[in-house]
Amino acid sequence: QDQAELILEGPHTSASQSEERKKTTKEREEGEEEGDVFQDSEPELDEEKGEDVSAESAGKVEDDGKKRHKGEAGESTKSENPPPLAPFDHRIVTPKPHQIATYYTINRDEVLGGGRFGQVHKCMENSSGLTLAAKIIKARSQKEKEVVRNEIQVMNQLNHANLIQLYAAFESRHDIILVMEYVEGGELFDRIIDENYNLTELDTVLFIRQICEGLQYMHKMYILHLDLKPENILCVSRATNKIKIIDFGLARRYKPREKLRVNFGTPEFLAPEVINYEFVSFPTDMWSLGVITYMLLSGLSPFLGDDDNETLNNILACQWNFEEEEFTDISDEAKDFITRLLVKSKSWRMSAAESLRHPWLSDRSLHYRLNQKVILTGQHI
Ligand code: ADP
C-alpha cells in the first residue's frame, strides 16, 4: 500500500488533498497570522516538575525565553519550564443543581471547540472576572450523567500543571456543564497541520516531554487517559511550547482486567488492545504517545489507511515505518523513542517514567545538537 497516502486526516480535516488537509473545519483566525513561528529553543534543561512550579517560576518562563541564539528578531518564549498553573488552586468539584447563568456569563458566540457530546465555550465567572472554559455536555439519562460524573471524579484527583484543571460543575435536566481552566493557544493538532508553523524536532521534544510528565503523574495516580490524541493536547499560548492535556471523558481509574469499549470515531490513535477488546492499562496511553510523537515529527499519521478498516488492520499488524522523506533528518534517538512505544505487545512498551529517561527526552547534549541544527539550517525562517 502506498505510504504516501497516509497523510494526516483527522476529524478536523476533510479530504486527502494536501490543500484540504491543511485546513481545519473550525475557523482559525490566529492561523491567518503571519510569521507567528517559534524563534528558538534553549538547549539547557531544567528538571522542575509540573506540579511543583510556583507562581514565581511560572513568571520566570518569560525571562528565560529572552535568552536566544544568533540574535534573531522576536522574543523566544520557549524554555524547559513547566506551563503556568491554573489561575486557581486545585479544588474538589461536586456538580451543583443551580443555574450556571447565575454565576457565569457563557459566551455563546465563542465556541472553543466541538466535542463528542457538546460544545466548549469561553466563559467568565461574574464575581471574579476570571476567564474560563465551559464544556456543555448533553446528558439526559442517568447513565449518561454517570459518565460525566466520572469525568468530574477523575479531574478531582488530578492536580498537575500539564493537566487542565476543573473549576466548577453544574447539573441540570438535559446537561452537565464543566467549568475549566481556559487556555488560548489552540490544539496541538492545528500546529501539526499549520504550514506557517514549522515544528522542529526540538519543539517536539518539549511537547512530548510535557505530555509524558502529565501522563507519569496520571499513571502514578492510577488513572488512565485512554483518549490521547493531538486534539486533546492544548497549547497554552501561540508563542510558547507549553501544553496541557484535556478531555478526561474516557479517563478512568486503572482496574486490572478492565476492557474498554470505544466508539470508533477516528481509529488512528487506538491501541491494538483497544481494537481487540482486550485489557487496557497504562501502556495503552503510551501507544497513543508513540502515535502523537510520530505525527508531530512528520505530519503523517503512522497507521492511517484509505479507510477505517485499513487503518485498523495496519494497527493490528503493527505495520508502520520511517520510510517517508519527512524522517530523513530526524535523529536516531527520536526513531528509537517511537520504536519503543509503537510495540504491539503492551508489556514491552516504555512506561511514562522510562520515556522521560529515554535519551531523546533527557540527553542534554542531544538537545544541544538539535538546537545547533536549527541554527545552521535556519529551520525557523
Ligand atoms: P469532548 O470530550 O466532547 O471531545 P473536549 O474536552 O475534547 O470535548 O473539548 C473539545 C474541544 O474544545 C477541544 O478539542 C478544544 O479545542 C476545546 N477546548 C476544550 N477544553 C478547553 C479549554 N479548557 N480551553 C480552551 N479550549 C478548550
Report pLDDT digits (tens) over 192-232. Answer: 877 777 789 999 999 999 999 999 999 999 999 999 999 99
pLDDT band at 71 (very low <50, low <70, confident <90, very high): very low
Region 268-275: mean pLDDT is: 93
Q: Which residue has the higher pLDDT, 265 or 105?
A: 105
pLDDT band at 15 (very low <50, low <70, confident <90, very high): very low
Region 329-353: mean pLDDT is: 97
Q: Which residue has the higher pLDDT, 319 or 377?
A: 319
Give the distance (Å) from ligand 1 centre to CA of residue 72. Answer: 34
**pLDDT for residue 7 is more than 50:** no
pLDDT band at 117 (very low <50, low <70, confident <90, very high): confident
Q: Which CATH architecture has domain 100-181?
A: 2-Layer Sandwich (3.30)
Region 318-340: mean pLDDT is: 97
Q: Which residue has the higher pLDDT, 320 or 78?
A: 320
What pLDDT score was predicted for residue 263?
60
Q: Which residue has the higher pLDDT, 325 or 379?
A: 325
**pLDDT for residue 18 is more than 60:** no
Q: Which atom of ligand 1 is nearest to the CA of 164?
A: 23
Which of 106, 135, 138 to mutate for ligand 1's pocket (most ligand atoms within 8 Å of CB)? 135
- Structural domain boundaries in the chain: 27-78+186-376, 100-181
What pLDDT score was predicted for residue 182?
97
Region 170-189: mean pLDDT is: 94
Binding-site positions for ATP read: 135
**pLDDT for residue 94 is more than 50:** yes
Residue nearest to atom 6 of ligand 1 (CA): 247
**pLDDT for residue 57 is more than 60:** no
Annotation marks residue 227 as catalytic: yes
pLDDT band at 56 (very low <50, low <70, confident <90, very high): very low
β pairing state of 223-224 and 175-181: unpaired
Q: Say how far apart CA 362 and CA 55 lie, in whole Å.
A: 25
For the Cβ of 300 lying below 6 angstroms from any atom of ligand 1, the answer is no
What pLDDT score was predicted for residue 26?
30
Q: Hunting for cell 511550547 — which residue is that?
A: 241
Give the distance (Å) from ligand 1 centre to CA of residue 232. Answer: 7
Give the distance (Å) from ligand 1 centre to CA of residue 114. Answer: 7
Please tell me which residue in 227, 285, 306, 329 is annotated as part of the active site: 227
What pLDDT score was predicted for residue 77?
52
Give the distance (Å) from ligand 1 centre to CA of residue 231. Answer: 8
Q: How far is CA 376 from CA 168, 199, 371, 380, 381, in A?
A: 48, 16, 9, 10, 11
For the Cβ of 115 lying below 6 angstroms from any atom of ligand 1, the answer is yes
Give the chain's mean pLDDT: 80
For the Cβ of 304 lying below 6 angstroms from any atom of ligand 1, the answer is no
- The cell for 298 is 512528520
For the Cβ of 93 lying below 6 angstroms from any atom of ligand 1, the answer is no
What pLDDT score was predicted for residue 194?
78
Judged by average pLDDT, the poorest of 180-184, 228-232, 376-380 is: 376-380
What pLDDT score was predicted for residue 321?
97
For the Cβ of 187 lying below 6 angstroms from any atom of ligand 1, the answer is yes
Q: Residues with Cβ < 8 Å from 274, sequence gap 6 or more? A: 226, 260, 262, 280, 284
For the Cβ of 117 lying below 6 angstroms from any atom of ligand 1, the answer is yes
Residue nearest to atom 23 of ligand 1 (CA): 182
Q: Which residue has the higher pLDDT, 34 or 301?
A: 301
What pLDDT score was predicted for residue 137?
95
Binding-site positions read: 135
**pLDDT for residue 380 is more than 90:** no
Q: Say how far apart CA 343 and CA 9 lie, in whole Å.
A: 23
For the Cβ of 164 lying below 6 angstroms from any atom of ligand 1, the answer is yes
What pLDDT score was predicted for residue 197?
73
Judged by average pLDDT, the poorest of 198-207, 321-330, 346-355 is: 198-207
**pLDDT for residue 311 is more than 90:** yes
CB 136 within 8 A of CB 119: yes
Region 53-71: mean pLDDT is: 33
Q: Which atom of ligand 1 is nearest to the CA of 187?
A: 16
Which of 247, 248, 250 to mutate for ligand 1's pocket (most ligand atoms within 8 Å of CB)? 247
Q: Which CATH architecture has domain 27-78+186-376?
A: Orthogonal Bundle (1.10)
Classify residue 348 as exposed, middle or buried by CB count within 10 Å of its CB (0-12, 13-18, 19+).
exposed
**pLDDT for residue 53 is more than 90:** no
Q: Which atom of ligand 1 is nearest to the CA of 246?
A: 6
Q: Which atom of ligand 1 is nearest to the CA of 137?
A: 3
**pLDDT for residue 59 is more than 60:** no
